[in-house]
Structure 1
Amino acid sequence: MILSEIDRDDAIAEALDALHGTTRAGFFRRAALGSAALLAASTTPASAAIGKRDEAILNYALTLEYVQDSFYSEVERLGTLSGALETQAKTVAAHERAHVKAFREVLGSRAVKRPKFDFRGATEDADSFRKTAVAFEDLAVAAYKGQAPLIQSRAYLVPALAIHSVEARHAAWIRRLAGEVPAADAFDEPRSMRSTLAIVADTHFVVNTRSRRKPKFTG
């Protein structure tokens, strides 16, 4: 069923026009672009006036996307997976790269730099990948949920929520492939920036640039 079949009097379309301040064609054109392109499209030259809080939140989100992008892209390069798990990883890798690109375009010179990563074997076999991917996706969903109420500009809130829903789909997908219940609870809890970054630090996946250890693959 398509929108025109249930919205014969254009009431829904008109409501969308009013809500998003755009034409119906423009709204659906944006929707077709996907969440990453929507983020870039929502932040034209006006992004130069981005507030300090929103800048910090976007850079925080970019940091999490760097971790996921590097993790999935490394698995892809290694050719570790096969079958349904490989399909999931390749699809998510493309999504995460798109998210990174969109955040970097919005932040410009204010974007934090990509760190180096050593995933310590988590990308080298299917079991390790599954466990790590479930943890990463659940963490990303909780992290986005924790920051959404704090975003001040609607220009950033709408696309951030669009990315959040995609991350939730990633989480459900990898949970199913890992033999876990995709949605275990009726309600999800948010996670603060401090606790999320502490978890990332505890993984020791981020490599100290002064360390003598040279991982085989780095993000």
Structure 2
Amino acid sequence: MIRSASRAANTRHMGSDLQGSPMHDQVSVVDFDGDEAVAEAVAGLQEAGSTRGAFFRRAGAVAGAGAAAVLLPSAVAQARSGGSKKNDIKILNFALTLEYLEAAFYAEALAVGGYTGSVLNFAQVVASHEATHVATLQGVLGSKAVKKPSFDFKGTTRHWHSFLRTSKVLEDTGVAAYQGQAPLIHQNAVLGPAGAILAVEARHAAWVRDLLYAGKSVKPAPEAFSVPMSMSEVLSAVKKTGFITS
């Protein structure tokens, strides 16, 4: 029941800025049903006898009125002790799939958005970061890297406001995904870069809030703790956007 409350709280905060927009501007990443989809995009993650649902598990405790999940040092140590180099490869490929998605989104935004000022600056900087994340993960994985999927962002990059709203959801999902996988990383050589990417994704999430909520009485950080997402939750969320087409 505590876990359900935590997920519900996280879902409300992630979806609040998507309400009331035209259907083509909405990104349905908050209605989790446990569907382990986007098989084509993550086919390279599979090993014989493995499942995506077993790829991540949530480790944490509950704190605050929002019932946010918090990773404790003991839980992190226990999760890492049960990891393996093979699982680290799966984690990196999962991260690469998300980075492909984000990099393609920002590249399209720059190509078709016609943004100006602070929104253009945000799109340019974040596009560069996401492209660097992709190149870095590809370099680490080498021949074991999953292939880049095809994408359709359904017009969300055509206007600066729908772009920012979609960016917020993608960045929030990325942060939660990295937070969910970090305790399962076995090798310090992998944990370091993953942690560095997580920190930058969190800064992107903060930056887009500054742009999106400028002049509005909206709490940019309504909870004291960030709630991680499992792999199955993230894949289900990504599937519901319809952004990955092959």
TM exceeding 0.5: yes
Once the two structures are aligned, what percentage of the paired residues are identical? 49
Any gaps of 5 or more consecutive residues in structure 1?
1-49, 209-219
> CA RMSD of the aligned region, Å?
1.1
Mapped to 2, the partners of 1:152 and 1:78 lie a distance apart of 41
Deviation string 1:126-152 (CA, Å, 9 cap, x unpaired) is 121011001000000000000000000
Normalised TM-score (structure 2): 0.63
Query: Does 2:226 match 1:188?
Result: yes
**1:3-36 deviations in Å (ceiling 9; x for gaps):** xxxxxxxxxxxxxxxxxxxxxxxxxxxxxxxxxx
What is the aligned partner in structure 1 of residue 46 from structure 2? none
Structure 1 stretches of at least 4 aligned residues deviating more than 3 Å after TM superposition: none
One-letter amino acid of the counterpart of residue 171, structure 1: A
Shift of 1:183: 2.3
Partner amino acid, structure 1, of 2:239: A
Q: Distance in 2 between matches of 1:136 and 1:80?
A: 20
Tell me what 1:38 maps to.
Answer: none
CA deviation vs aligned residue, 1:177-213 (integer Å, no higher than 9, x gap): 11053322211010001100110011011113xxxxx
Residue 117 of structure 2 corresponds to residue 93 of structure 1:
no
Aligned to 2:183: 149
Q: Which amino acid aligns with 1:84?
A: S
Taking the aligned partners of 2:148 and 2:183, their CA distance within structure 1 comes to: 26
Bigger radius of gyration: 1
State how many pairs are aligned. Answer: 159
Q: 1:202 aligns with which of 231, 235, 240?
A: 240
Counterpart selection for 1:161 from 182, 188, 195 = 195
Higher-RCO chain (CA-CA 8 Å, sequence separation at least 6): 2
Deviates more, 1:78-87 or 1:112-121: 78-87
**Paired AA for residue 208 in structure 2:** I
